[in-house]
Amino acid sequence: MRPDTPAAHTTEAERLLRTAAQYPGDREPLYLQAAAHRELAGDRPGATALYDALLSGQPANPLLIRALKAANLWEYGHEAEARAIIEGVRRAKPADAAPWEITAETLEAHDELEAAESTLTEAAALLTTSTELPHATVSLITTRHRIRRMLALEHDDWDDRADRLHTASVPLDELHDPKRLWSLGSSDPAELQAEITRLRSELGTYRTALSRPFPVAVLHWPEPELDELLAAYPELEAEYPTYRAHLTDIEASLRELAQAGTPNLGIVRATVPSYEAFAASETTHPSTAALLPQYATTLAARARATAWPPASDAACWCGSERAYGECHGGADQD
């Protein structure tokens, strides 16, 4: 169950910090997730302390951490420091989309639309050079489309590309039309319901997990690991009746999530020793089925997830050594 109160967020942050102490190799992603929970709990100075702790070492993603720190600082009155960090991130020209989008969203949240648009335009020039764009970059140019719509700017090539890549039933121009928000003041239930539907579609489209870059992940047990798991904990056979069914369920679940607009989908490879260690850290018996999604989330938080879907000609995630398009990515899954 996700935390939904400040106290619950504080408790979850402390749990993540204890886990980080047990697994120092995973300290960075766990600290970032703990900082996010501290922010949600209203403990913004505490979140800044975690960002500073990471930056005092040699983090793998320093620009991402700086962008998150700037967003947090601005929210509790440290605007000048936040602006300085944002300028530093922009000058560093990150090679991935997350720091750019977090920076732009921070500027947008404080009515700096022109600065947000120029930030995203700079990012688009750096990150859209390939034919196939990763989900994070698609999200970035979609956010740029929205901000340019609010600024009443004419479409450019990147806006056109965002339109082509948009798969929801409501077009981006309609989703990003500022005037549509006026309908929220209507007393007509039909108009209000239509607006709620549009807003839900929008949230599924561009409010991605980039601000907290942890994918929604599904567990994949390789066949030897699944055999070992079920031999040790037969209570889990209801979750995994056969290995073939397990693979089919993974692909079906991910497709369903994708169709619902869920971003940043991934697959995490499970092992029995890792799962047993996680169960011990949670003081829960490994045969408890409710522990499985928590294990998947923790692995994803430690940057163990592989993005889904792979390219059609890339190796399938299942380990069959066949191309994804000829294996689980085909119209008829094996």
Judge if 134 and 174 occupy the same domain. yes
- The reported pLDDT for the residue numbered 212 is 45
> Are both 190 and 277 inside the same structural domain?
no
The confidence band for 334, taking pLDDT boundaries of 50, 70 and 90, is very low
pLDDT tier for residue 211 given thresholds of 50, 70 and 90: very low
Strands 305-307 and 265-269: antiparallel
The confidence score (pLDDT) of residue 247 equals 94
Please give the pLDDT value at position 8: 85
CA atoms of 90 and 92, how far apart (whole Å): 5
In this predicted structure, which of 12-21, 32-41, 281-290 has the lowest mean pLDDT? 281-290
Phi, psi angles (nearest 5°) of residue 217: -120, 150
Residues 6+ apart with CB under 8 A from 7: 41
Q: What is the pLDDT of residues 22-67, one digit of tens each?
A: 988 889 999 998 999 999 899 999 999 999 999 999 999 999 999 9
pLDDT of residue 193: 76
pLDDT band at 4 (very low <50, low <70, confident <90, very high): low
Residue 215 confidence (pLDDT) = 61
- pLDDT band for position 208 (50/70/90)? very low
Provide the residue range defining the domain that includes 253.
216-326
Whether 301 and 187 map to the same domain: the answer is no
Residues 66 and 205 in one domain: yes
Residue with tokens 């020793």: 273
Quote the pLDDT of residue 177.
75
Mean pLDDT across the stretch 196-212? 54
Residue 111's pLDDT is what? Answer: 85
- The count of residues in the chain is 334
Do 250 and 111 fall within a single domain?
no
Together in a domain, 198 and 73: yes
To the nearest 10°, the Cα dihedral for 16, 98, 63, 50? -20
Residue 40 located in a structural domain: no
Domains in the chain: how many in total? 2
- Tens of pLDDT along 64-104? 999 999 999 999 999 999 999 999 999 999 999 999 999 99
What does the CA dihedral 215, 49, 118, 207 come to, rounded to 10 degrees?
30
The pLDDT confidence band at residue 179, using thresholds 50, 70 and 90, is low
- Kindly tell me if the per-residue pLDDT of 303 is higher than 90: no
CATH number of residue 74's parent domain: 1.25.40
End of a domain among 211, 246, 271?
211
* CA 24 to chain centroid: 23
For the cut 60, the answer to whether the pLDDT of residue 217 exceeds it is yes
- Opening angle at CA 8, ends 235 and 304, nearest 5: 55
**Burial letters for 279-305: b for 16+ Cβ neighbours within 10 Å, e otherwise?**
beebeeebeeeebbeebbbbbbbbbbb
Element of type H or E holding 306: strand 305-307
Contact 35, 55 (CB under 8 A): no
Same domain, 220 and 194: no
Answer yes or no: do 202 and 291 share one domain.
no
Least confident of 1-5, 16-20, 203-207: 203-207
